[in-house]
Structure 1
Amino acid sequence: MQIAAVRATPLHLPATVSSASGKTRTTSLSLCLVDVELDDGRIGTGMTAITEEEVVASIVDDVAAHALVGMDPLRHEQVWERLSWLLAPRGQSGYASHAIAAIDLALWDLKGQILGQPCWRLLGGAREQVPVYATFGFAFFDRDELAAAARSWADRGFRRLKMTVGHHALQRRDEPRPLADVIAEDVRRLRAVRDAVGPDVQIFIDANCSLDYMHALALAQRIEDLGIGFFEEPVAQNDVPNLARLRAKTRIPLAAGQNEGLASRFRDLLVAQAVDVVQPNACITGGFTQCQRIAGMAAAFNTQFANGGAWPHHNMHLHAGLANGSLVEYHSVAVECCKLVFDGLPEPRDGMLALPSAPGLGFRPNRERIAELARRPLSRGAGKA
């Protein structure tokens, strides 16, 4: 039993988001699927996202694939090590981590098929369902739409909700949008959401690394009375010293890590006591193989380990498998994109997502739809709603 071929399919997927008032907004997300095929014809499929999908596909097809042909698919540690030295020999992260993650997930999907077990059981089988939080609140909603959307998700049984703040403020400094004005509007938007859902629904916020320390601190101090569950990626580049400074000055728990590629970055976050929640993403942070190591570090530091960065149907296996697994992000736009690509995705009920019993990841790519989506012109850039 050997790896016979490795193939990547870059996709840029449209998504339509409806507000509670009936208005629709169009956005998009990029992802890259990776198939690992064995000499007996079995195929495992992994994916990565929040990156340049065409670049990752080129890395997989033109560099990684040739190094993996002939290897044993069950020896995922050996494969991971080979890929790490091939793609990141001097500690680079970036695209390398994304490519490794997609291949690693495909191997775990194969491992489950070969052994007749779902991935979450092979990862440890700690629980059969995981709690989810719904990411619902995006910059393209105005304040009233945001509040209405929050009520709608709460009415559907979600007691944990996340919305974006910061709105790429540092990235858009060439526009006449002073950061002070951005966070002032964020305060108003957050108060509207809290008023809409009441005190018993948890609210999380995510700045997507779009604020500097001064404005992240100002925002945190102005919303402490709203009972925010955590403030995700509050500062640019997940800067460890600035995260540690911020954590020392706010009662709001801090979270980070969804886009980090190196396990050592999580060590640095933990040693510096810079975050309350570490958030490796199986589709980005080197797959299940490396995320298990990071979860172990989190356990050793008695720090919460959760999922940030969307793609719940892959990350649910990690958090159901490991004893210290916890929250999984049910990102509404990412889920709609996944429904275009995969069949058999489980739906959450009352804020919980039940794990499948089928072997591997438990859901399969729809090849006909993928072929049609791949024929559409690709738009450059990694979409993130």
Structure 2
Amino acid sequence: MNDTGTARADGTMLPDGGVMARAPGVASTAIARVRATPLNITATFDLPGHRKESSLSLVLVEVETAEGVVGHGITAITEEEPVAAAINEVAAHALVGMDALAHEAVWDRLYWLLSPRGQTGYATHAIAALDLALWDLKGKVLGQPVWRLLGGARPRVPVYVTFGFASMDRDALADAARHWIAERGATRLKMVVGHHAMQRRDEPRPILDVLREDLARVRAVRDAAGPDVPIYVDANCSLDPYHARWIAERIADLNIGFFEEPLMENDPAQLATLRSQVRVPLAAGQNEGLLHRFRALVAAGAVDVLQPNVAIGGGFTQCLKAAGLAAAFNQPIANGGAWTHHNMHLHAGLANGGLVEYHHLAVLVTERLFGPLPRPEKGWITLPETPGLGFSPDPDALRDLACAPTSRGKGKA
């Protein structure tokens, strides 16, 4: 065995190469090609009383083995160009020759290559997309859906529908809530509050004015949905502790399932203090890049629900560990941050899996790339039995979307 750190042609393991020995006649799973495509995909809401075009950034990653097996992964809710560049210009060259099934070896190499000092941000998005592609590829090699490879705990998962966006006024929110419940069988609903208040405080835009309107909006949805449908609210890390407490205290009697990411930066100490002051359950974690951030949230007693997101927080390989951390502390997990059809595999695979977010805009965007995807029925999504993730990009759609002009103002609904 040599110590060059590069894969041998026969597939035997090198000290740091992550390449598994293969018996004669066994197909090679050595990585031969990696490619990332940056996309900004538009979609049109068309709900009663509300029609609007919006867009989300997305990076599609394709990993191919020497035998021609291809896996696909994504990452999103970030600038697509630097993530794609990090993959194409840096990560891809380091991964060629590694074993596509050696998730731990690949993940560790990517961490030291992309994140040793920055610790999160674009690098972790890149790792997430690559990791998802490798698990998709693994499922295809082994002939199993990813959720079964992750543990196969259940064949379907409960979902909540994220439908209530900043562009909708009170009447549109109420109409849409009634539509989702009566026409599409939704049993749980989520809406945004805060509306990037800290980020936009210099407009001027008094935060209390924003929150007074938010209170009226949540009440409008509660009146439309009736008393029994849980409503979840999400501030997208946009408030300070005072204003988060202000709105949490006033919505506490409205059957709120949880208040997601109320505070800027998901500050663990401030979240723990807020949690001790309000009756509404708190949730966070979808935007955390590395495992130590999940540990900090749990150790501080900061949240009621931990929210690893496989398309943002390091893929399945890291989110399995975050879910294990939650299980060790008997803490529920749920999907926040969208990308239903990737995250559903994690929650179906694990015994402590929880709610999955069916984010209306994100689903519309992913269906433009992948075609029709599983949809909820009476609050549940059934997992596919197809090997891998169960869906692949439509080549014609990918070609058209990759050629479309990039739009700014991303991720705003």
Q: Does 1:373 align with 2:401?
A: yes
How much has 1:343 moved relative to structure 2? 3.1
How much has 1:91 moved relative to structure 2? 5.7
**What is the letter of the counterpart of residue 360 of structure 1?**
G
Q: Does 1:133 align with 2:145?
A: no
* Residue of structure 2 equivalent to 1:218: 246
Please give the secondary structure, in 1, of the residue aligned with 2:257: strand
Is the 2:289–2:314 contact (alpha carbons within 8 Å) kept by the matching residues of 1? yes
- Cα distance between partner residues in 2 of 1:271 and 1:135: 29
Q: Does 1:62 align with 2:89?
A: yes
How much has 1:345 moved relative to structure 2? 1.6
Correspondence for 1:338 among 352, 366, 390 = 366
Q: Does 1:317 align with 2:345?
A: yes
Is the 2:281–2:304 contact (alpha carbons within 8 Å) kept by the matching residues of 1? yes
Correspondence for 2:112 among 85, 109, 114 = 85
How much has 1:194 moved relative to structure 2? 0.5
Unpaired runs of at least 5, structure 1: none
How much has 1:326 moved relative to structure 2? 0.6
Q: Does 1:162 align with 2:190?
A: yes
Q: Does 1:282 align with 2:310?
A: yes
* Residue of structure 1 equivalent to 2:46: 18
* Residue of structure 2 equivalent to 1:147: 174
Q: Does 1:299 align with 2:339?
A: no
**What is the letter of the counterpart of residue 67 of structure 1?**
A
Please give the secondary structure, in 2, of the residue aligned with 1:162: strand
Give the paired residue count. Answer: 384
* Residue of structure 1 equivalent to 2:148: 121
Q: Give the aligned CA root-mean-square deviation in angstroms.
A: 1.0
* Residue of structure 1 equivalent to 2:102: 75
How much has 1:19 moved relative to structure 2? 2.9
How much has 1:224 moved relative to structure 2? 0.9
- Cα distance between partner residues in 1 of 2:111 and 2:131: 11
Deviation track 1:56-108 (CA, whole Å, cap 9, x = no partner) reads: 00000000000000111111111111101111123611111100000000000
Is the 1:125–1:320 contact (alpha carbons within 8 Å) kept by the matching residues of 2? yes
Please give the secondary structure, in 1, of the residue aligned with 2:219: helix
How much has 1:176 moved relative to structure 2? 2.4
**What is the letter of the counterpart of residue 59 of structure 2?**
C
Please give the secondary structure, in 2, of the residue aligned with 1:102: helix
* Residue of structure 2 equivalent to 1:39: 66
Q: Does 1:186 align with 2:194?
A: no
How much has 1:347 moved relative to structure 2? 1.4
Q: Does 1:9 align with 2:48?
A: no
- Cα distance between partner residues in 2 of 1:48 and 1:83: 15
**What is the letter of the counterpart of residue 237 of structure 1?**
E
- Cα distance between partner residues in 2 of 1:381 and 1:282: 24
- Cα distance between partner residues in 2 of 1:114 and 1:98: 25
Deviation track 1:106-140 (CA, whole Å, cap 9, x = no partner) reads: 00001000000000000000000000000000010
- Cα distance between partner residues in 2 of 1:25 and 1:344: 21
The 1:381–1:100 alpha-carbon spacing in structure 2 relative to 1, beyond 3 Å, is: farther
Deviation track 1:294-313 (CA, whole Å, cap 9, x = no partner) reads: 00000011111110000000
TM-score of the two chains, using structure 1 as the length reference: 0.98
Correspondence for 1:242 among 270, 278, 281 = 270
Of 192-201 and 83-92, the range deviating more from structure 2: 83-92
How much has 1:384 moved relative to structure 2? 4.3
Is the 2:191–2:234 contact (alpha carbons within 8 Å) kept by the matching residues of 1? yes
**What is the letter of the counterpart of residue 251 of structure 1?**
R
Correspondence for 1:110 among 109, 116, 137 = 137
* Residue of structure 2 equivalent to 1:261: 289
Please give the secondary structure, in 1, of the residue aligned with 2:195: coil
Please give the secondary structure, in 2, of the residue aligned with 1:365: coil
TM-score of the two chains, using structure 2 as the length reference: 0.92
- Cα distance between partner residues in 1 of 2:409 and 2:146: 31
* Residue of structure 2 equivalent to 1:52: 79
Is the 1:53–1:382 contact (alpha carbons within 8 Å) kept by the matching residues of 2? no
- Cα distance between partner residues in 2 of 1:347 and 1:179: 36
- Cα distance between partner residues in 2 of 1:225 and 1:259: 28
Q: Does 1:30 align with 2:57?
A: yes
Is the 1:124–1:321 contact (alpha carbons within 8 Å) kept by the matching residues of 2? yes
How much has 1:380 moved relative to structure 2? 4.3
**What is the letter of the counterpart of residue 225 of structure 1?**
D
Deviation track 1:147-204 (CA, whole Å, cap 9, x = no partner) reads: 1111111112111100000011111111121001010001100111101111110000
Is the 2:192–2:234 contact (alpha carbons within 8 Å) kept by the matching residues of 1? yes
Of 70-79 and 129-138, the range deviating more from structure 2: 70-79
